[in-house]
Structure 1
Amino acid sequence: MRSRLARLFWPFVFACAVGAVLAGLGVWQMQRLAWKAGLIAQIEARAKAPPEPLPAMAEWPKLRPEAYEYRHVEFDGRFENDKEALIFRASGGGRREPGYLVLTPLRLSSGGYVIVNRGYAPADRKEPGARMAGEIEGETHVSGLMRQPEPRNSFTPADDPAAGLYFTRDPALIAAHFGLAEAAPFSVDADDAPVPGGWPKGGATELAFPNNHLSYALTWFGLALGLFGVFGAYAWRELKSSSS
């Protein structure tokens, strides 16, 4: 009997160690669940709040992305439609087809530039000539959500500034290509407001965020329980055989 108990020692230690790791991962996912829920609530509160004035140019260098991301703002200025940039998207605008985000510099009435994501246009509306009615001229009012620059990764294709084609929403790159001084370090996703001709279609910001951390946590906790169950069955069989 004693020898069989001794043989169970290291399996018991292994089960406890691995089970603790699995349970720890489950606890971590529960913490992530609370963090993600808080982040989603913050984003929804910012996005649905009434628009506030755009931060003054003097504040731009001091802005932190985590403090302004998805902030609802409004401002006035003139679009420089000849400096348009297109960001490729596999789908958008409520459609499951490739298209483009139309980003246009707007010269603020107070000075400086903001790159405005005016919204989604399908592939057959890629060229400005296919949506001429939507090329707004003169002083206009814009409201939308402030966005930080979109990061790149090793799978992001190279941009083609000469063709006005980009694969990330990076206002600094667009401003540099067009030689825009005093450009904002953020962009603004325009709200879904009526546009002559219907394109580009605003309101292209993705506000539906998955929060699967509860299922991840249950998976880790389930694995821990399964491991202890397997060890329990193994120990019961060993002890039972020793008593017979």
Structure 2
Amino acid sequence: MKRILPPLLFGLIGAAILVGLGTWQLQRLEWKRGILSEIESRIGGAPQPLPDMVSPAEQKYQPVALSGSIGEEALFVLVSAKQLGAGWRVISPFTTEDGRTILLDRGFTPVDRKQAPARAEPVTVQGNLHWPDDRNSSTPDNDVAKNTWFARDIGAMAEALKTEPLLVIARQITPPDPGLTLMPVDTAGIPNDHLQYAITWYSLAVVWLIMTAALIRRRSKED
């Protein structure tokens, strides 16, 4: 009994820790689902006016409905989109009926079509305010001279297009932009891997117990 007690305790304690980690991940899964549900509800909520004071934490994903005109200038952000391949996000200035000019993400154009259709006529836009987190330590610097951007840096883009530092991601443009595919905000890009982590921890707990049982069996035969 003395020979099997240490590995038995070691095995049970280790398995309990692994099961605890798996359970914690399941709790995180429910928490993350709640966050995603809240974001989806906010994205599809009733449109609100453009804010006068910018507060990204409170206004992120805020739905808006705008009427106005799209400027002729455009900035191009290199992206890769599922089912669409490599291409550009087109960012243009948008001037509202009351004279405010903001940034408008008009959608996606293929990489070999680095152009944005000019819009002379008035348009209406439904979309969401956003402060995208495109940049990380491996993101190259924007090549402003060649109009090749690698991240939607709102401050730099607003300065380049002489707009307010507000970005609206279009969900619908009426009349629609010819040749552009809308890329509205959604929760698809927000990771939620807690279920996979939970399965991993529970699987490790099972393996741990199997190895413990094998060790105890071997020691029992040695007695």
Please state whether the residue corresponding to 2:123 is helix, strand or coil.
strand
Question: Relative to 1, partners in 2 of residues 1:221 and 1:108: Cα closer, same or farther, differing over 3 Å?
Answer: same
For structure 1, list consecutive stretches of 5 or more residues without a partner in the other structure. Answer: 129-133
Instruction: Output the CA distance in 2 between the equivalents of 1:168 and 1:191.
Output: 20
Q: Which has the larger radius of gyration?
A: 1
Matched to 1:88, the amino acid is L
Per the alignment, residue 205 of structure 1 pairs with 185
Residue of 27, 30, 34 corresponding to 2:26: 30
Question: Relative to 1, partners in 2 of residues 1:194 and 1:177: Cα closer, same or farther, differing over 3 Å?
Answer: closer
Name the TM-score, length of structure 1 as normaliser.
0.78
Q: How many pairs align? A: 222
* Aligned counterparts, 1:51-200, within 5 A: 51-55=47-51, 57=52, 59-60=53-54, 63-65=55-57, 67-82=58-73, 84-91=74-81, 94-95=83-84, 97-128=85-116, 134-180=117-163, 183-184=164-165, 186-193=166-173, 195=175, 198-200=178-180
Instruction: Output the CA distance in 2 between the equivalents of 1:203 and 1:152.
Output: 18
Question: Relative to 1, partners in 2 of residues 1:155 and 1:165: Cα closer, same or farther, differing over 3 Å?
Answer: same
Coordinate RMSD, CA, aligned? 2.5
Answer 1 or 2: which has greater helix percent.
Answer: 1
Q: Do residues 219 (structure 1) and 200 (structure 2) align? A: yes
1:173 to partner: Cα distance: 1.2
1:101 to partner: Cα distance: 0.6
* Contact 2:78/2:88 (<8 A) preserved: yes
**Runs of 4+, deviation exceeding 4 Å:** 194-197
For structure 2, list consecutive stretches of 5 or more residues without a partner in the other structure. Answer: none
1:138 to partner: Cα distance: 4.9
Percent of aligned pairs sharing the same letter: 31
Matched to 2:145, the amino acid is A
Name the TM-score, length of structure 2 as normaliser.
0.85
Please state whether the residue corresponding to 1:53 is helix, strand or coil.
coil
**Alignment deviations for residues 49-93 of structure 1 (CA, whole Å, 9 cap, x no partner):** 2323222x2x22xx133x3222221123332222x111111235x
**Alignment deviations for residues 94-133 of structure 1 (CA, whole Å, 9 cap, x no partner):** 52x21111001212333443211011111232124xxxxx
1:206 to partner: Cα distance: 4.6
1:196 to partner: Cα distance: 5.3
Matched to 1:49, the amino acid is G
Please state whether the residue corresponding to 2:94 is helix, strand or coil.
strand
Matched to 2:56, the amino acid is R
